[in-house]
Structure 1
Amino acid sequence: MRAMLPAIRNGLKLSLALPVLSLYFLLNSTCVYYNTFYYAERYFKQAEENQKKREKQAQGQQQPQSYPPTGKRYPQKGYEEGYQKGYQPQPRTSYNPDRELYEKAIKKASKVLAFHPESKYVDDALYIIGKSYYSMEEYQKADRKFKELVVNFPKSEFIPKAYFYMGMSHFHLEDYAKAQEAYGEVLKIPKKGELKDQASFMLAEIAYKEQDYPKAIKLYQQMLSQYRKSEKSAQAQLQIGECHFQLEDYQAAAAAFEMVEKHHPNAETHYLAKFRRGESLYLSGKQEPGLAVFQKLGQDERYFHHQAAVKLKIAAGEHQLGRQDRAMKTYEEVIESHPRTEESARAYYELGRIHQLELLDLTRAKEMFDKCKTEKPSSDVANEALARSAEIAKLKSYREQLADSLGEAGAETQFLLAEALLLHMGQPDSALQEYMDLVEREPESNYAPKALYAAAYIYKELRGDTAEAVDLYQRIAQEYPLSEYALVAADSLGIELAIADSLNLGALFEHAQDLLFNRGEPDSALLLLFEVEARFPQSNIAPQAAFTRAWIVDTYLFPEDSSGIYAYQEIIEKHPDTEFAQAARDRLGLTRKTSDLAAEYTLVEGGDTTTFNPEDTTTYSKLGYPVAPEPLRAGLFVYPEELIDYEYRGKVLLKIFIDTFGQVKEAEVLGSSDSDLIDQAAIDAALKTTFDFHRMDPKELNGYFLHQVKFEPPDRKGSRYEPGVGP
């Protein structure tokens, strides 16, 4: 019996120890998963707090965009998480300085889901993961986690937030239908919550994004009536103003922006509302009240960090009120006090415009435009300033050439000079003088009737002198009856020209062909063909004129849209039984718009050559564009690797646009290789090609040229092939 006592004692100890050990392991396990969740929540909260601080700072740096020149609408900007539409928000990018914190939170929360699926913190963990993905702008992943939360935990306290951020994820993915559904679920939840006002606000935002401004106004107003104390109320009122602004109802916009103050906005929202109110008053013709708004805004110490932008608006108001000296002085103050900024670049640009258009000092204007470009090369107006500077330089070049030019060449130079004065320099009086001088100097030139027509336009449209315009129309009809402008002038006068016989109609049609193929003037050819067809619809030439007109639209003017399709359909309807209607049907059945040309200029295999003869300059002249010179630096043609085994070789004919500095800015395939990959490689090579603009005719710069890119398989797979050169 005594021998059994130790065993009994040990058994008793073990039986007492087992419950204690079980309790210990249970508590330790609970502690482990709670610690895991604790750190997940800690990382998440820290990242969220950091992000809120950054967004608040970003709003403080926000600056409305200046309104564009008359005739242009404000750019469409979207509201996204604390940024008001109509302004320039901080760019959203994939970079997030707190990404590491969010990733740690996701990792810890995922462990709770994986190892403790029965834990009471599972819905918390799902929300943390979903919101972390959302804050990292990984919206599809965020959406999946929020859906998992609402499906598996329909009674969770996180349901309103899950639906709201599900909606926000779809909003950023531009799936507005699903976003509306999610916001609708938030509004259906019976209990009151802070997110209902935001969901209501976002429904209005969707209407704004879809540019349904009347609907957006209604939804913003509905949100304001239901959630008067919402933190979003000031922003909603601001957006009502933006909607009226986009509808170009500037008086209503000004009134709406004024009402923002009643909703107790923060400092920056208050500033934005005042700024936009001032702009709206300017655009509604109330310069004095608008100027007063900006002057008061400029004196508010809270907004001294926006002083440059406000001063630009003050200068604009002074200028619109005819106070040129004050405006120029204010622009100079912006340049001096805020150098190397977007605002100082804008000030240089506006000074350039004043010197160009009002003071007519082109030398000083060019100086201002050049300084604008160097002041801040990345500014919004830098490229436009560069273009204006180039136009002034081109104008100077025309004047120098005109002194040494005679005959048709001189007439062309003078016409280009007048055109530049009218369209780019804003000097219609000077342009008129050049047009009329051209007619007196070169009355037999092809540019004479064109100059008279342009002069008539100035008299009629810009000066309102209809009598003088009629005199010029009569002169065109009498002195240049076979020009393309005679028919237009006759229509303006309401008279019939005595050219209805087939011989004269044929001459007109031949003249249109000459304009297109030999002189490279598709617009003039189109005008003449339209008049022939409209005035003589029953003639035999009318269907041919209609088809040629449609072909010009399809091939030269609007190859990327459906204008050509409509023109061909019109031929089929108006001239159904003619050969040209059948030709129109054939054109509508083509899969490639360049098929006719590609039939002559095709890709071939092996050692064959193309049927297109690059030395045949008459072929090029028919296309209406000059041949590009030898490149200064030819772009590298990279042969598509997947086509190497086919040994395709040949040439691609391109229409390229060469700017003032010899850079290729556009490239379009005219003669296809019949391979999209090779065509694209040719375009890429052309866009990297540069030309020596010093050796090119200044009149041809900023214009279109023909350019060949040759191709053949490289010596070894994956190697790069020497680029093609101009024909």
Structure 2
Amino acid sequence: MKFMKYLIVAFVLIFVSSCAYFNTFYNAQKYYEEGVRPLQNGGSVNKALLDKSIEKSSKILQFHVKSEYVDDALLLIGKSYMYTGEYTKAIRKFTELLDYFPNSKFSDDALFFMGKTYLLQGESEVAKTIFTQVIGRSKDHRIDAINECVNIMLEKNNSKEADSLINSLSDRDKKNNNIRFLSGKVKWRAGYYEEALKYLTKVKAGKLSKNAGFEYYQIMSDIYLKTNNMKKAEKSINEGIRIFQEHIMRNSLYLLKARMLVSNEKYDKAIELLEDVLAQPGVSSKDSLIFYKGFVYETYLSDFEKALESYRAIVDIEKSSKLYPEAEVKVKSLELYISLSLDSTSENIDENIKNRFLLAEINYQNLNRVDESIAKYEAIADSFPQTIYAPKSMFALSYIYLKDKKDTNTSVEYLKRIIYRFPNTEYSAEAEDKLKEFESALDTLR
């Protein structure tokens, strides 16, 4: 009878102990899932919840070292560390799982997330090597690893390598919905829009992850815009906006919509749309929206004051933006441009001509306004033929027609004009040298 009592007590203790570490692991898993949930809509993880997951998982390792959840706990701790940016600790946990539990059902998971950790800390080549191993050994993470490898290649502008990887896959893999999306994405990045559509139109967007689905609508909309299919572009953009209202990067779709309006020459409506989106609280992609607003004012409306205001907003407020360096150049260029525009009406003729030439230079070199710069250089050459700025402008025109307009005949014509109008000068000598370079290049081609 006593033996039975001891047996029952022992059973109860074992049962309670099992329940205890199961509950501990269950809570750790719950905190992890809630902590990474914002990633589904492009948001940031909840670090506090991931810290709780680490704490609960660590108790499994500390108090239940022989339980069946030890390898689960190691993986959970590693992933939590990865998402909170503690990469060294994450790699250590994944390594422990692989070393001490080589036959664990989570070993492929550990290898895959180790690759992601190296990628997050900037070691993309190490990550690619690990993902290549995953492709060869894991069924569960094979497609995800292919996706990571392709994205690493595209990040380095290596579309050919990405295309080769996809072409090396089996026919079965190529029919996978995610691989079809990747195939279209690679063709899109390479600029082969019609080929991209052949793959993307077969993709079931609703079966992609939320982030991949969002990217799908971005890519489709961009292709339709670039191929001037405005009807389909509008449909794609509006559908994406409707589906992804909760996505953190949803405003990039509004940016595409502004681009569509600009393509339809509805510049004021584009500005109105951008201002409406920017007025919303907690707006995402703010720097891109502001920059494009400045671009529309500058390029299409020729309102340099308002363009300057937009670019300056990035320089003053969005200092961490990737667009900061470009915005800073725009601010300096437009400030100088506006100042010179006011000075170009000066009664001092020499100063007037000099400022006009500088305006042409700024248009071309800083603002990328090729046609505007051509018009200004031509005006100087025609209106002030006796000044040094006439041959200088002709040289600039020869260069622009060759480089930007791909018009060799016009480029050569300007060089000949310099030789004719300014004989026995340094300008004619330089023009003759340029013509000889052209002739030498033609002889080589022959």
Structure 1 and Structure 2 fold alike (TM over 0.5)? yes
Selected match of 2:34 from 50, 53, 65 = 53
Within 5 A, what are the aligned runs for 1:386-401? 386-400=328-342
Tell me the residue number matched to 1:100: 52
| Alignment partners' CA distance in 2, 1:268 and 1:258 | 18
Shift in CA distance, 414/177, structure 1 to aligned 2, threshold 3 Å: same
| Alignment partners' CA distance in 1, 2:315 and 2:412 | 44
Tell whether the 8 Å contact from 2:290 to 2:311 is kept in structure 1 after alignment: yes
Structure with the larger strand share: 1
Tell me the residue number matched to 1:161: 106
Q: Give the deviation of 1:214 after TM superposition.
A: 1.4
Summarize deviations over 1:507-530 as a string: whole Å, max 9, x none.
xxxxxxxxxxxxxxxxxxxxxxxx
Counterpart AA for 2:98: K
| Alignment partners' CA distance in 2, 1:432 and 1:203 | 48
Within 5 A, what are the aligned runs for 1:539-578? none
Selected match of 2:93 from 139, 142, 150 = 142
Tell me the residue number matched to 1:491: 434
Percent identical pairs in the alignment equals 14
Tell whether the 8 Å contact from 1:260 to 1:270 is kept in structure 2 after alignment: no
Q: Give the deviation of 1:394 after TM superposition.
A: 0.5
SS in 2 for 1:322: coil
Selected match of 1:133 from 78, 93, 97 = 78
Shift in CA distance, 133/223, structure 1 to aligned 2, threshold 3 Å: farther
> Residue 352 in 1 paired to residue 294 in 2?
yes
Tell whether the 8 Å contact from 1:274 to 1:293 is kept in structure 2 after alignment: yes
Quick one: higher RCO (CA 8 Å, sep 6+), 1 or 2? 2
Summarize deviations over 1:399-440 as a string: whole Å, max 9, x none.
455537676x77654432220022334444553454356556
**For the pair shown, which has the larger CA radius of gyration, 1 or 2?**
1
Q: Give RMSD over aligned pairs.
A: 4.3
Tell me the residue number matched to 1:476: 418
| Alignment partners' CA distance in 2, 1:201 and 1:401 | 60
| Alignment partners' CA distance in 1, 2:335 and 2:109 | 57
Tell me the residue number matched to 1:197: 140
Selected match of 1:277 from 220, 230, 241 = 220
Summarize deviations over 1:485-510 as a string: whole Å, max 9, x none.
844554336789xxxxxxxxxxxxxx
Q: Give the deviation of 1:452 after TM superposition.
A: 1.9
Question: Normalising by structure 2, what TM-score?
Answer: 0.74
Summarize deviations over 1:688-707 as a string: whole Å, max 9, x none.
xxxxxxxxxxxxxxxxxxxx
Summarize deviations over 1:449-473 as a string: whole Å, max 9, x none.
4322002234555567766543420
Within 5 A, what are the aligned runs for 1:23-422? 27=10, 31=13, 35=17, 38-60=19-41, 62=42, 90=43, 95=47, 97-113=49-65, 119=66, 121=67, 124-137=69-82, 138-151=89-102, 154=103, 159-173=104-118, 174=123, 175=126, 176-182=128-134, 184-186=136-138, 196-210=139-153, 211=158, 212-218=161-167, 224=173, 234-261=177-204, 264-265=207-208, 269-298=212-241, 300=242, 302-305=243-246, 308-336=251-279, 338=280, 341-342=283-284, 346-370=288-312, 381=323, 384-400=326-342, 403=346, 413-422=355-364
Shift in CA distance, 263/41, structure 1 to aligned 2, threshold 3 Å: same
Shift in CA distance, 444/54, structure 1 to aligned 2, threshold 3 Å: same
Summarize deviations over 1:644-694 as a string: whole Å, max 9, x none.
xxxxxxxxxxxxxxxxxxxxxxxxxxxxxxxxxxxxxxxxxxxxxxxxxxx
Q: Runs of 5+ in structure 1 lacking a partner? A: 1-15, 63-89, 114-118, 187-195, 497-530, 535-727
SS in 1 for 2:141: helix
Q: Give the deviation of 1:180 after TM superposition.
A: 3.4
Tell whether the 8 Å contact from 2:259 to 2:270 is kept in structure 1 after alignment: yes
Tell whether the 8 Å contact from 1:449 to 1:480 is kept in structure 2 after alignment: no
Structure with the larger helix share: 2
Tell whether the 8 Å contact from 1:204 to 1:219 is kept in structure 2 after alignment: no
Shift in CA distance, 169/41, structure 1 to aligned 2, threshold 3 Å: farther
| Alignment partners' CA distance in 1, 2:348 and 2:49 | 64
| Alignment partners' CA distance in 2, 1:136 and 1:207 | 25
Tell me the residue number matched to 1:669: none
| Alignment partners' CA distance in 1, 2:319 and 2:15 | 56
| Alignment partners' CA distance in 2, 1:450 and 1:101 | 69
| Alignment partners' CA distance in 2, 1:107 and 1:480 | 89
Shift in CA distance, 426/91, structure 1 to aligned 2, threshold 3 Å: same
| Alignment partners' CA distance in 2, 1:222 and 1:359 | 51
Selected match of 1:452 from 387, 394, 401 = 394
Q: Give the deviation of 1:169 after TM superposition.
A: 1.1
Shift in CA distance, 49/275, structure 1 to aligned 2, threshold 3 Å: same
Tell me the residue number matched to 1:577: none
Summarize deviations over 1:270-295 as a string: whole Å, max 9, x none.
44423321112222343332223223
Counterpart AA for 1:314: K
Tell me the residue number matched to 1:424: 366
Tell me the residue number matched to 1:680: none
Tell whether the 8 Å contact from 1:278 to 1:290 is kept in structure 2 after alignment: yes
Tell whether the 8 Å contact from 1:237 to 1:257 is kept in structure 2 after alignment: yes
Summarize deviations over 1:67-104 as a string: whole Å, max 9, x none.
xxxxxxxxxxxxxxxxxxxxxxx4679x5632233234
Tell whether the 8 Å contact from 1:319 to 1:327 is kept in structure 2 after alignment: yes
Counterpart AA for 1:330: L
Q: Give the deviation of 1:375 after TM superposition.
A: 7.4
| Count of equivalent residues | 417
Shift in CA distance, 56/272, structure 1 to aligned 2, threshold 3 Å: farther
Which deviates more from structure 2 when the two are superposed, residues 363-372 or residues 456-465? 456-465
| Alignment partners' CA distance in 2, 1:267 and 1:350 | 26
Q: Runs of 5+ in structure 2 lacking a partner? A: 83-88, 442-446
